[in-house]
Amino acid sequence: MRKGNNPTKDLAQVPDPAPHVVVIPLYIPEMDGYYKDALKVFETCLESLVKTKQPTTEICVVANGCCETVTHRLSEYHKKGWIQDLFLLKEGVGKINALLKALRSLESPFVTLTDADVLFLNDWEKAVYEVFEAFPKAAAVSPTPIFGTQARLTYPIWKDYFFSKKLQFLPVADPEAMTRFVQSIGWPRLDRKYKEVILGLKSTQGVKAVVGCNHMTVTYKTSVFRTLPKGNSPYLLGGDSEFEYLDKPPVLCDGYRLATYQNYSYHMGNAMEPWMQEVFSTLKTPADSIDFRGLPKSIMRPRPFVFFLKQKLLGKIFGRKSFRKWFYRNKGLQKHQMDYFFS
Residue 171 bridge partners (DSSP)? 197
Q: What is the pLDDT of residue 143?
A: 97
pLDDT exceeds 70 at position 182: yes
Lowest mean pLDDT among 50-59, 109-118, 185-194: 185-194
CA distance 175 to 317: 31
5 has a pLDDT exceeding 70: no
pLDDT of residue 18 exceeding 70, the answer is yes
The pLDDT of residue 11 is 52
Q: What would the pLDDT profile of 30-70 be if each residue is shown by its tens digit? A: 999 999 999 999 999 999 999 999 999 999 999 999 999 99
Is the confidence at residue 190, as pLDDT, over 80? no
**Using 50, 70 and 90 to split pLDDT, how confident is the model at 237?**
low
Higher pLDDT, 317 or 53: 53
User: Which pLDDT belongs to residue 114?
Assistant: 97
Domain boundaries, the chain: 20-283+292-342
Give the least confident one: 103-117, 206-220, 243-257, 328-342: 328-342
Q: Say what percent of the chain tops pLDDT 70.
A: 91
pLDDT band at 189 (very low <50, low <70, confident <90, very high): low
Q: How many other CB atoms sit within 10 Å of the CB of residue 180?
A: 18
Q: Residue 293: enclosing H or E segment and its boundaries?
A: none
In contact, 261 and 210? CB cutoff 8 Å? yes
Residue 304's pLDDT is what? 78
Has residue 277 got a pLDDT over 60? yes
Average pLDDT score over residue span 247-262: 94
**Segment 118-135 mean pLDDT:** 97
**20-283+292-342: what fold?**
Spore Coat Polysaccharide Biosynthesis Protein SpsA; Chain A (3.90.550)
CA distance readout (Å), 215 to 206, 207, 279: 26, 22, 22
- The span from the first CA to the last CA of the chain, in angstroms, equals 76
The predicted pLDDT at position 126 comes to: 97
Q: What is the pLDDT of residue 34?
A: 94
Q: How sure is the predictor about 300, in pLDDT bands with cuts at 50, 70 and 90?
A: confident
What is the β-pairing status of strands 256-260 and 208-211?
Answer: antiparallel
CA distances, 187 to each of 179, 182, 218, 274 (Å): 9, 5, 22, 18
